[in-house]
Amino acid sequence: MTNSGVAQPGAAEGKSGFRWLQLAMGIVCMAMIANLQYGWTLFVDPIDAKYHWGRAAIQLAFTLFVVTETWLVPVEAWFVDKYGPSVVVCFGGVMVALAWVLNSYADSITMLYAAAVVGGIGAGSVYGTCVGNALKWFPDRRGLAAGATAAGFGAGAAITVVPIAHMIAASGYQNAFFNFGIGQGVIVFVLGLLLRPPKVAMPMKKKQLNLPQTTANFTPGQTLKSPIFWILYVTFVLVASGGLMATAQIAPIAHDYKIADVPVSLLGFQMAALTMAISLDRIFDGFGRPLFGFISDNIGRENTMFIAFGTAAVMLLLLFNYGQTPIVFVLATAVYFGVFGEIYSLFPATSGDTFGAKFATTNNGMLYTAKGTAALLVPFGSIIAKQYGWQAVFAIAVGFNAVAALMAIFVIKPIRRAFIEKSNGAAAASPVAVQKASVA
């Protein structure tokens, strides 16, 4: 740990809306990379129809994308710390554009996989940088800031899912890949030029007793040695695995249930069940991230985790029993994604609270690799569904979320509070001792 001495921000940074402008630009950048993950499901069946590679083989590209996106974030975070967020995000913009251009020309499964890796590098560069920058600008509102930034990634696909679907139907999936890829990449690159970190550390404000924060700054090496990091990591994997399977497979599930094109009317709107489901999923996902981040700022991280993970388990149970009913499919998946996406606000905020702000980008990046670990399970969703049906996949995801909800209250909460109290006690006792303190 390093001493938590915090410098005061400059007048322009501390009193103007500059940090909110930085947050807004990060949100837009995240929205521009959202389709790389959330729009993918629209391309799976068209690719399979053209080349007959099989869903499982095609979904491996999704896994490669997520693994690359997440596992390289700590490396990309190092570049952020050394060269600043602007360079890394601009690089990410180039890579995400290149990835979808490659997808538009991919006539072999190998090329599809290569494009996925390129896209993962680009998306990870943007994602890790924007979330880390938000944590540094808003130590007083970490849940809200991380949630709002992650909301861009969750809801960004909502406004483009219908145009992409229409373009795929009208002129083919290759054209959709090419045009949207170029457009998204250009916007990320331009905004990346404007991103800045705080010149000095933003001060933390006094927090409520139910929202403990460390007064120390743990280095990445020290963070990796702490048991609470790995407990958070396992919980992240449990929750993320079900959500990633649903994200990648929602279109195949709807087609297998023969409800994809069934009209569904809701609040005066009528759409095909699949199109409405994906649109609502992105909207609920987007609103859920800042909402649960805000809630966690007020009632505590673990309490919010319990509510969200428990609700996710209930929605998956509804899909297990009634998923073949179009309206249930639409509403249950919408609520599920509304509570699933909060992991991308709660875990970064929890990481910042637990390990400090100085190395927040790298420490959160290491925790974020749990998403990549969870992505390794995505191809198994297709395999399990082929052997036992989608109900088996839903049943496994119910179990994962239920376990995670219980872990939040009975494991993470007491261990994390003890960890923070110990680090704060060491910091109060001796600033020099803090630097040498064990985090075991």
Provide the residue ranges of all domains of the chain, joining segments of one domain with +.
11-202+218-436
**pLDDT-derived band of residue 436, with 50, 70 and 90 as boundaries?**
very low
Q: What is the pLDDT of residue 307?
A: 96
Instruction: Give the helix ranges, DSSP H, for 258-389.
Output: 273-299, 301-322, 326-340, 343-355, 360-375, 378-388
Mean pLDDT of all residues in 19-32: 92
Q: Which residues of 308-347 are buried (b: 16+ CB within 10 A; e: fewer)?
A: bbbbbbebbbbbbeebbbbebbbbbbbbbbbbbbbbbbbb
The one-character DSSP state at 409 is I
Q: How does pLDDT run across 395-420, given as a tens digit for each residue? A: 999 999 999 999 999 999 999 999 99
**Region 213-220 average pLDDT:** 85
Helix (H) or strand (E) holding 119: helix 109-137
**pLDDT at residue 12, rounded to an integer:** 46
- For residue 183, CA distances in Å to 38, 64, 96, 105 come to 17, 23, 10, 17
- What pLDDT digit, counting tens, does each position of 360-409 carry? 778 888 998 898 888 787 777 778 888 888 888 889 999 999 999 999 99
Kindly report the pTM of this predicted structure.
0.75
Q: In whole angstroms, what is the distance from residue 291 CA to residue 339 CA?
A: 10
Give 440's pLDDT tier (boundaries 50, 70, 90): very low
pLDDT band for position 120 (50/70/90)? very high
What digits encode the pLDDT tens for the residues 149-174? Answer: 888 876 677 777 778 888 998 999 99
DSSP 272: E
Single-letter code of the amino acid located at 406: L
3-class secondary structure, 269: strand
For 231-265, how does the pLDDT look when each residue is reduced to its tens digit (9 = 90+)?
999 999 999 988 787 767 788 889 889 998 898 88
- Chosen CATH of 11-202+218-436 out of 1.20.1250.20, 3.40.50.150, 1.10.8.420, 3.40.50.1820: 1.20.1250.20
Q: Are 115 and 58 in contact (CB under 8 A)?
A: no
Residue 7 has pLDDT above 50, yes or no: no
Q: How far is CA 402 from the centre of its chain?
A: 20
Q: How confident is the model at residue 439 (pLDDT cuts 50, 70, 90)?
A: very low
Query: pLDDT confidence of 435, banded at 50, 70, 90?
Result: very low
One DSSP character per residue, 293-329 reads HHHHHHH-HHHHHHHHHHHHHHHHHHHHHHTTSHHHH
